[in-house]
Structure 1
């Protein structure tokens, strides 16, 4: 809207003086400077506070870090100490384990030595048993003892239970089967019977002398029980009866012996029986039967066959003459060869 013309125009204020304007600008600049200074001081103070706080925080964190570092170093030290203790224990355990292994190896070696020693001792016993069996067969012809020796050797091998001993056990089984299949000859029994006959020869009555002497001696010992006059009469009567002797012979005349020849007869009969016993051990069938035949002839010719002892001796001699003693005995070559093979195998190892 345009102003009225009647209204007088506004007059601009009169310009202020130059000094006033300068002082106002100076005051304004001073205020701005003070404000800026105050602002800068406040900012500096605030920054200082933040720096202090930051320094305290850093100091605290450094302290915490130092504390944590110390604790960590303590933990590390403790860990190192525990690790050293564990290493020491581990070293001691390794040493003990090494000692235990050494002792175990020593025990194994000792057990092996003991086992080898036991096996060696057993094989030595087996070898001795086989040797004894061979000697009994070849020298004495004693089959039962040989069988017992071989059975003992097989039992010793069975206790070891080693596969390497199977060939020897098979050879032993074959030899035992062959020995058990042989006819039985009771050589010890025959030998004992011959020995009894030898000891009884002195008690057998002779045909030429009638009653044995020991019966006459028994009557003399029984005589002193009676009164003296009866004993004297009995002795006179015995002397009178000795002047005349009457005998009855229902067979051919007995062989007469010169005085004192009965001793040599009995000793020769003993020698015949001893020869038969030696022939038995050597398995000489012809000599054995021939000696027993001569002994039977002498018993029938010179001794009283009506006596029970003489008849029993003749019967025993007939039974022994019928026995077969010349049995072909097997050898133990297979068993001995298997034993040598086992020995050679052990020596090579």
Structure 2
């Protein structure tokens, strides 16, 4: 009896020992996994803190950009105020001209002057208006037309006493014809074309980082098959854990993508801020248009330099549209529009001298 039952307890004892070894092994594996999990949590916490710090810095940068956009808006308002003052000056000039016309009409009725005197007063008024427009807008052709019409009117009268006035008008005509003919119509058309393109010019903030080449791998769901043998569970568990950690690391890396930008602040522009940038560029273009019409080379150069800086800072410099606009602006800046425009001093002085003598 005893000899037949001895092997049974011995086999149970060996089985118990094997089970204890496996339990110890599993406990050791569990400890390693726990340590790795804690390390991973610390690493993840560090990465998340870094991301939070970066986001906070970006938010502060966004606030700075918002302040700069407000400054741009204020500059735009000042520019609008400047343009409005010019318009007001022209309106005042028109009002003054109208009041002078009314005064002249009253003078005509009250004094009952002769036909020649009426013509002379009318000529003086026309030449005064032409002279003011000449100084404000540089309209040489309009001034020449006014002088030639005045000379024809005096010639039809056939009065020798108007000879001194006609000679003064002829001198002013010769001075205006000697002014170099600067045709700014082509430059104005270029500015008009650029103004129409402003809304379609791509901004730096419109660009997006390229897609990650491993995007498909990051979205793949990994399945791990464990061996049926309990002795292989440990290595399989470690392999699965490492793969899972790698997947989480790749997901965290896709949260932030690094792209080299010359002006990082331009990426933080909001939709309202981009409107301010485009409108400021349009106002600069309109100011350049006025500078062309008035032959103000200094103002034109200043406006174009400011616009090129804006294009380099806020717009996509690699875009063909932006490059075309910059080339056109530089061509306009290189054009010579600075000319000395004379005044109709000879003609007006002759008319005033004649009126004082008579």
TM-score (norm 2): 0.47
Structure with greater Cα Rg = 1
TM-score (norm 1): 0.48
